[in-house]
Amino acid sequence: MPHFSLRRTFASLALCPVLLGVVSVEAQGQDGSRPLSVERIYGSGEFSAEGFGPVRWLADGGYTVLERDDDGQSEIARYDPGTGARTVLVSASSLTPEGASRSIPIADYRWSDDGRKLLVFTDTRRVWRQHSRGDYWVLDLADDSFRRIGGDLERTRHQFAKFSPAGDAVAFVHRNDLWVESLDGGGPVPLTSDGSSTLINGTFDWVYEEEWSLRDGFRWSPDGRRIAFWQIDDDGVERFPLVDLTAGPYPDIKWIHYPKAGTTNPKCRIGVVDVVRDPAGASGGDRIGPGGDVRWLDLPGDLRDDYVARMEWTPDGHLLIQRVNRRQDTVTVLDVDPVDWNARVVFEDRDDAWVEICDDVVWLDEDGRRFTWTSERGGWRQVWIVDRDGGEPVCLTPRSEDVTSVLKIDPVGDRLWFLAAPDDPTRRFLHVQSLSGGEPRRVTPADQPGWHDYQISGDGRFAIHRWSSSTVPPQVELVRLPGHEVVGHFPTVRNETLAAKIEALPPVERSFFEVELPDGTMLDGW
């Protein structure tokens, strides 16, 4: 099933062999003795590119990077993008559990909204495609306390932990049930208790990950008083065997619920559970817990043949839901009012062949009445403004070019930052334009053809810029916006060693071309 994000991934993979000059596995290395094979390219690490990050922008305009100290242990450093000043924000000693001699390895981390607490993901395990299961720890910068989330629950079984908006609690998934834990004392408390191998709360089965790239299946409300979550019921879905013939003398067989075309889909519904605080711990010692039974939303459509492809809270506490029919030619956007929990249709996006869901929803007002929507309804992938109160969507980027992603909306500065491919899919550049319309301005320099991506700071003054092309290996630099001046004190990545290795390979001819389909549609190839 086509997805825009997957198309970008496949295109990236297609460009990699071009960059490396892969035309024939018989091509020889620099000394003429080593064939340039698929194993050498993808299995040896010889052509791995150097990177930087991941970077987390902070509310104060600085950014943090996970680094290693002189002893090889994890620490988190803060950098000032304007001056380059470096400060160790979280030392290795702060990330060392009581009784341990070294800091824990960090797979990922995130800050609370107020920046006073750090949530660390470690000791991870793979689920389907990604490492989304493991342990979580919380560091409180105020007193340097470091605690593991989950209490006596089985280790390395926690998923998608996230702070409440106030930073006073952490919710997570454990064995297909939702849990919450107060950071003011007390242990984990279940918000659901019916999870099983076929009934999944707060995360997803194979279908929703495969079709919609969904893994994290719950959302805190803006006020932290509720959690909305997906529940997937695989009961009635036929199973398919995955056979591992390399497991040993006998194959290992794993059965997964796998609906084929026209067969029974999993049932999906959306639940909302109230989260109440009890600071005194009067209710049996728990300081946080569910405030009653789960409230199940009555959404239009069929529970099995219509998908809930996206869901998020609006700034004013409503739920905005993207519902997709099984033919995947219609996206219905629903607004769920928390007063009566009725779902109202905001608008529908349709396509005769296949319609794309939107991952570029950005709120334009404090209450979220208006938001951005990317759609091909105008013949190109463009940015539209949708009003939850009704009316026709308004196209903000009417030019005949594809907007590949919305990077940042700045209502105060009246700026929309987005990536677009004005000429062909192999060239994607940063653009900026007014939210009231007008002509966009290209920000990416003209002498840098290729694919570009930007991680823009909260204040819109700086961005981590990453780019590459069929002849240029990945580059990383810090730029000042909107002029795109390169900041000199940043540890710029040029991958010169990799470039030299590629240059030493036998020369090849790179070819970019178009293929015309019978209906006149032009496809790009290389």
Smallest CA-to-CA distance from 289 within 279, 299, 300 is with 279
Predicted pLDDT of residue 284: 56
- Segment 468-490 shows an average pLDDT of 96
- Segment 160-179 shows an average pLDDT of 98
Helix (H) or strand (E) holding 433: strand 429-434
The strand pair at 370-375 and 343-350 is best described as: unpaired
User: Can you tell me which residue has the tokens 């219905």?
Assistant: 332
- Cis, bond preceding 54 (omega within 30 deg of 0): yes
The count of structural domains within the chain is 1
Smallest CA-to-CA distance from 150 within 139, 141, 138 is with 138
* 140-143-148 Cα angle (round to 5): 40
Q: How far apart are the first and last CA of the chain?
A: 22
- Is 525 inside any structural domain? yes
pLDDT band, residue 29 (cuts 50/70/90): very low
In sequence order, what E strands does 74-157 have? 74-79, 86-90, 108-111, 117-127, 130-140, 145-148
Q: Give the type of residue at 160.
A: F
Predicted pLDDT of residue 22: 43
Could you give the maximum distance between any two Cα atoms of the chain, in Å? 76
- The whole-chain average pLDDT of the chain stands at 91
**Distance (Å) of CA 239 to CA 260, 306, 314:** 10, 20, 37
User: Per-residue pLDDT for 218 more than 60?
Assistant: yes
pLDDT tens-digit profile of 325-358? Answer: 999 999 999 999 999 999 999 999 999 999 999 9
Report helix, strand and coil shares of the chain as percent, to nearest 5: 10, 40, 50
User: CB-based contacts of 404: which residues, under 8 Å, 6+ apart?
Assistant: 4, 8, 381, 418, 419, 420, 421, 428
Predicted pLDDT of residue 524: 87
Smallest CA-to-CA distance from 269 within 306, 226, 238 is with 306
CA distance 170 to 285: 17
Predicted pLDDT of residue 17: 45
SS3 387: strand
User: CB-based contacts of 520: which residues, under 8 Å, 6+ apart?
Assistant: none
Greater confidence, 505 or 495?
495
Predicted pLDDT of residue 119: 98
Predicted pLDDT of residue 211: 93
User: CB-based contacts of 252: which residues, under 8 Å, 6+ apart?
Assistant: 243, 244
Gyration radius of the chain's alpha carbons: 25
- Is 513 inside any structural domain? yes
The strand pair at 451-456 and 462-468 is best described as: antiparallel
pLDDT tens-digit profile of 10-25? Answer: 344 444 444 544 444 4
- Is 23 inside any structural domain? yes
- Is 242 inside any structural domain? no
Share of the chain above pLDDT 90, in %: 82
The 3-class secondary structure across 62-98, one letter per residue, is CEEEEEECCCCCEEEEEECCCCCCEEEEECCHHHCCC
Beta bridge mates, 107: none
Predicted pLDDT of residue 36: 82
Q: Give the type of residue at 430.
A: L
User: Per-residue pLDDT for 7 more than 80?
Assistant: no
Smallest CA-to-CA distance from 264 within 233, 310, 309, 231 is with 233
pLDDT tens-digit profile of 272-295? Answer: 999 999 866 555 556 899 999 999
* pTM strictly above 0.85: yes
The strand pair at 199-201 and 226-233 is best described as: antiparallel
CA distance 62 to 82: 9
Smallest CA-to-CA distance from 354 within 208, 258, 211, 232 is with 211
CA distance 362 to 359: 9
- Is 61 inside any structural domain? no
- Is 25 inside any structural domain? yes
User: Per-residue pLDDT for 8 more than 50?
Assistant: no
- Is 450 inside any structural domain? no
State CA 261 to chain mean position distance: 28
Number of residues in the chain:
526
pLDDT tens-digit profile of 401-441? Answer: 999 999 999 988 999 999 999 988 889 999 999 998 889 99
pLDDT tens-digit profile of 32-66? Answer: 457 788 999 898 889 999 999 889 999 999 999 99
The 3-class secondary structure across 224-267, one letter per residue, is CCEEEEEEEECCCCCEEEEEECCCCCCCEEEEEECCCCCCCCCE
Residues 190, 170 contacting (CB under 8 angstroms)? no
The strand pair at 252-257 and 485-486 is best described as: unpaired
Q: What is the DSSP letter of 202?
A: S
Predicted pLDDT of residue 280: 60
Residues 455, 56 contacting (CB under 8 angstroms)? no
Supply the range of the domain harboring residue 512: 1-48+497-526
- Is 338 inside any structural domain? no
Joined tokens for residue 71 = 């002893």
